Amino acid sequence: MRDQLGYLATNDTAAGRLTSSNAASQPLSKLTPRERQVLGLMAQGKTNKEIAALLVTSEGTAKTHVAHIFRKLGVSDRIGAVLAALGIDPSKLLPAA
C-alpha cells in the first residue's frame, strides 16, 4: 500500500486505478482520484502549499482536498489519514496505559 500511495502522488491516471474485488472495504475507495493523489503527497510529507504547487492549484483548494480526506476517512490529522489508507488502526500501535 505504501508504494501505491507514492505512485498515486505522481501519476494522475493511476489514482483512478486503485481497485480490487473488495474495493468497498478499502479506505481509498472512498476517495476521489484527486483526493488519492493529495493523500499520496501527504504521505510524502508535503505541506498544503507544496501540494498546491505540485498540482498547479491554490493552497485553499489543497486544504479543501485535505479536509475532505479527513472527513471521508474519519480522522483528524495527516498521520491518521495515512495510517487509515495503509489499513493501520492507530489505537493498536501503542499498548493501553
Per residue in 46-93, pLDDT tens?
A: 999 999 999 999 999 999 999 999 999 999 999 999 999 999 987 788
Amino acid at 86: L
CATH 1.10.287.610 correct for 2-90: no
Query: For residue 23, what is its C-alpha cell?
Result: 474495493
Q: Is residue 15's pLDDT more than 50?
A: no
Record the cell numbers describing residue 42, joined without a space.
Answer: 501527504
Please state, in angstroms and rounded to a whole number, the distance separating the CA atoms of residues 50 and 70: 18
For the chain, report the end-to-end CA distance as a whole number of angstroms: 30
Of residues 70, 83, 4, 84, the one with CA closest to residue 37: 4
DSSP 87: T
pLDDT at site 9: 56
Q: What is the mean pLDDT of the chain?
A: 81
Domains of the chain by residue range: 2-90
At residue 57's C-alpha, the angle toward residues 31 and 8, to 5°, is 40
